[in-house]
Amino acid sequence: MLMNRRRFVKNSLAAAIAASLPVNDGLAALLGPSAKVTADIDAVTGDGAEVTLGRAAIQELADSLRGDLLLPGHAAYEDARHVINASINKYPALIVQPRGVADIRSAVNFARESRLLTAVKCGGHSHSGKSTCNGGLMIDLSKHHRNVLVDPQRKIAQVSGGSLLGDMDHETMSFGLVTTAGTVSHTGVGGLTLGGGFGRLARRFGLSMDNVLGYEIVTPDGEFRRASADEDPDLYWGLRGGGGNFGVVTNFEFRLHEMNREVIGGTIGFPLQEARQVLNFYADYALEAPDELGLELVMFGSSPENSLIMLPLCYCGPHKQVEPILKKVRSAGTVIMDNVGPMDYVALQRSGDLSDPRAIGSYTKSGFLSKLSPSFIDAAVTSFEAREGRNTVFAIQHAGGAISRVAPNETAFPHRGINFIPLLIIDWPIDSNAREHVAWLKETWNRFEPELEGFYTNDLIDETQEQVDRNYLGNYGRLVALKNKYDPTNLFRLNANVRPTA
């Protein structure tokens, strides 16, 4: 989704490591099989207890890896510990960057045996920072565990768990094949797909997870398993929407679809003064639009003179049928911006990358709706007008279509009747005080919540455990049973957590 995101500028905070996390001299190293560990290291368990990791155990972990073990004090550690949201500033006790399944198994076994707080990072797009942690183990798949292998005859892609969406789009579209894959190319395939996977093509081809034919996963016991409709179907069900609750997915097998590489894409913009008119149009037309059209809505304002309401779109159907659709969209108001035209789909997928906010802090809330009511539209417009010119974005992603043609209990993701995904985003310079901005967004979001029908677990920020449980709707009990079976100690808890009861 277009969210005016900006490029990341890394923070130089190496001097704060010692104050943030107890470390020892002699551990400031990038450890490989030949390295010698000379001291213990302090860490924390999943329940927050302090624990000391013996140097012999750390050495054994280092010796078992083909990839890298990073400890505080090394430049590679400083880069790896960061995530997209610059307001998240955490220091893992150690970071494993695996080069394959064997390394992932070693990391998971080490985490389980030491009862470590454990985070899994791919693209690092978790707004709440759950792909990193303070004092625990980060398993960073993004460095080495990336690969996409396309079988054009079978229309299948094998995608390693650390791959980014851009990796997958680039490889599959070279064969005229595609699957639903988010809207920002440096998003991780793993996090996006395990939580659901919305994107520009979801109305035509379903969610990302709806296109997964099989998973390969290292579960908390360190075992390597395959899950598909024919092999461990219960785990397969849970991985489609259950998030990272059941282990580290090492490979996804995606179903691919034929699609013309050239789509109709771009944005049609209108004066912000016409926001109510455009929103009312969108509320109606989005429900009747063809599946081939992904039509989003964005109200953006960085200054009074740079504020407008936009309808970004992607049409992936026959080009000869698009003109009546574009005429309809343009009728929403007074067009003051229009760059819609034929474009390369992979280029469209990358079009928001350079504006991703990485030198700033940000805070986001999202939810699900089946319809946009007059009261919701009024709250959106009045709230945005009050904040105009202060780096605020109100956006709505288009759902419905093929997403809705799956039963709520067919996968762990139950929210199949939704047509709209509203988001409210605010950002601020990282060196300024975030409190005012976050407080405003929370207060504003409270006006929307009575109408919401759940939320996207991939946008989890500070929801309570009760809200998380309730958000799984009728699928919650089955998810708990799976959690009891595969992760009874809740090793993988940094997610939209399903708490075990075993």
pTM assigned to the model: 0.90
Rounded CA separation 394/299 (Å): 5
254-307 confidence digits (pLDDT tens): 999 999 999 999 999 999 999 999 999 999 999 999 999 999 999 987 666 678
154-170 confidence digits (pLDDT tens): 999 999 999 999 999 99
Rounded CA separation 494/174 (Å): 36
Sign of CA dihedral 224, 229, 233, 237: positive
Sign of CA dihedral 65, 70, 76, 78: positive
Strands 137-140 and 41-44: unpaired
Residue-wise DSSP of 209-273:
GGGEEEEEEE-TTS-EEEEESSSSHHHHHHHTTSTTTT-EEEEEEEE-EE--SEEEEEEEEEEGG
Farthest-apart Cα atoms in the chain, separation: 70
Q: Are 34 and 63 in contact (CB under 8 A)?
A: no
Structure confidence at residue 360 (pLDDT): 73
Neighbours of 101 (CB within 10 A): 18
390-418 confidence digits (pLDDT tens): 678 899 999 999 999 999 999 999 999 99
Quote the tokens at residue 268: 């049609």
SS3 string of 310-339?
EEEEEECCCHHHCHHHHHHHHCCCCCCEEC
- Poorest-pLDDT segment among 138-152, 344-358, 467-481: 344-358
207-244 confidence digits (pLDDT tens): 999 999 999 999 999 999 999 999 999 999 999 999 99
Q: Are 139 and 106 in contact (CB under 8 A)?
A: no
Rounded CA separation 139/70 (Å): 10
Rounded CA separation 112/223 (Å): 12
Is 60 exceeded by the pLDDT of residue 2?
no
In degrees to the nearest 10, what's the CA dihedral of 118, 122, 128, 132?
A: 40
Rounded CA separation 26/49 (Å): 24
Residue-wise DSSP of 107-168:
HHHHHHHHTB-EEEESS---TT-TTS-SSSEEEETTTT---EEEETTTTEEEEETT-BHHHH
Rounded CA separation 184/194 (Å): 16
Structure confidence at residue 14 (pLDDT): 30
Backbone dihedral region for residue 247 (phi beyond 0: left; psi -120 to 50: alpha; all else: beta): left
Please provide the average confidence, as pLDDT, over all residues in the chain.
Answer: 89
Quote the tokens at residue 118: 């454990």
Secondary-structure breakdown of the chain: helix, strand, coil percentages, each rounded to the nearest 5: 35, 25, 40
Structure confidence at residue 391 (pLDDT): 76
54-99 confidence digits (pLDDT tens): 999 999 999 999 999 999 887 799 999 998 888 889 999 999 999 9
Structure confidence at residue 414 (pLDDT): 97
Sign of CA dihedral 396, 402, 408, 411: negative
106-123 confidence digits (pLDDT tens): 999 999 999 999 999 998
Structure confidence at residue 325 (pLDDT): 98
Rounded CA separation 256/151 (Å): 9
* Structure-model confidence comparison of residues 356 and 88, the more confident one: 88
